[in-house]
Structure 1
């Protein structure tokens, strides 16, 4: 998908009707749509080898590292803990390129309930946003990998790091989405798979469903309105009814 196409998705459409119960669903990071965590861990390890580092993040170690968002910062913090100095941004760029290339080879599947929630939301005329703070290139790659199951045009708004100054756990992305879609926090619900995403959603005043992936399932999602292993439209609707 071209940048021009992605930019087009940032224009929101007028909903069929405004339903007070749940006007908007905000999917958070890319991990709320598809579980790419293991692909990303493997990409990090390949990037380390490419930059002549003997690091190798095991799955257990990576699960702990994921308690904080931001790949470049994660690399920098890890280097400090090892008493080393590295070009974290360059390493992260290599990781991102490797990850995006892997998405062209792998058959990526939407997470449980995602397609059904999107379909039911659109049938009821609700707004949908994808509120990430990952790179535009990552978003485009995920959209391309999921095109068989999810048409990107279903989203009234797609965000990336290009649209906000501060990444999660800052609330900037959610504030931006609320303003662009002319919504109030009580009328929306966020879905997040990591702790910084949860913090960002709650800071913006949103109800939030924790939808951890295989590598964040053991994190402490205290503060979430609900913790789930699959998405269910009726559960989301009930939380909004109680929150409004």
Structure 2
């Protein structure tokens, strides 16, 4: 029986991707580099640090330190986030979160986003009250598809990882869940383009397909 649900954030709870995209491409322009759509899509599920580490290997002309690149991107993102009015929770996810919480199922967030970004989202939408733990990808040297973030999140569960599930929307996130050996629900989000969810244990197109009772009965 499922006791814990581990949520990804971007593309699952909220779609901050347009804000991230705006921030990244403004910075790419400042750095005078041309990042293709294919390359940008491959960064889905990466932390900001891993994204810039990868970019520096592709573009040796980037002389800035990774930490400086992170801070600049974060500054652009924060300015855009604070002024963006059309930022909403994804359809159906708030009802699912409340249903799980009221049913006594533990909720943990495992997101590649920075702690600052997570806190901004959770504060804006009053989500802190539902989650017992928040895990940020910035605390891990490798991003998804490395399973470390999910293995650590599962270690915070009230139950063994066999009683946990992960909800993910990205290729790298599903791969990380697979590598962690945790049941994965792939959310086919309209906001996450060109993602391969085929190795997820269950694929949904809408959060109305899930509720606490259905989730509690999921198993490998």
TM-score by length of 1: 0.76
- Does 2:208 correspond to 1:229? no
User: Of 85, 96, 102, which aligns to 1:117?
Assistant: 96
Relative to structure 1, the CA distance from residue 121 to residue 236 in structure 2 (aligned partners, 3 Å threshold; closer, same or farther) is closer
SS at match of 2:184: strand
Mapped to 1, the partners of 2:4 and 2:185 lie a distance apart of 14
User: Of 133, 136, 143, which aligns to 1:157?
Assistant: 133
How much has 1:76 moved relative to structure 2? 3.9
SS at match of 2:11: helix
Relative to structure 1, the CA distance from residue 164 to residue 153 in structure 2 (aligned partners, 3 Å threshold; closer, same or farther) is farther
Q: Deviations over 1:114-140 (max 9, x none)?
A: 101111112211111111232211111
Greater shift after overlay, 111-120 or 173-182? Answer: 173-182
How much has 1:48 moved relative to structure 2? 3.0
Within 5 Å, which residues of 2 pair with 1:187-206? 187-206=163-182
Relative to structure 1, the CA distance from residue 157 to residue 233 in structure 2 (aligned partners, 3 Å threshold; closer, same or farther) is farther
CA contact (8 A) 1:41 1:57 kept: no
Within 5 Å, which residues of 2 pair with 1:11-160? 21-49=1-29, 52-55=30-33, 57=35, 60-61=37-38, 64-67=41-44, 69-87=46-64, 89=66, 90-107=68-85, 108-147=87-126, 151-160=127-136
Q: Deviations over 1:36-78 (max 9, x none)?
A: 11110110122234xx4223556x4465333562333333433
1:218 maps to which residue? 194
SS at match of 1:97: helix
Mapped to 2, the partners of 1:87 and 1:32 lie a distance apart of 32
Relative to structure 1, the CA distance from residue 191 to residue 236 in structure 2 (aligned partners, 3 Å threshold; closer, same or farther) is farther
Relative to structure 1, the CA distance from residue 223 to residue 188 in structure 2 (aligned partners, 3 Å threshold; closer, same or farther) is same
CA RMSD of aligned residues (A): 2.7
TM-score by length of 2: 0.84
SS at match of 1:30: coil
Relative to structure 1, the CA distance from residue 240 to residue 201 in structure 2 (aligned partners, 3 Å threshold; closer, same or farther) is farther
Structure 2 unaligned regions, length at least 5: none
How much has 1:203 moved relative to structure 2? 1.8
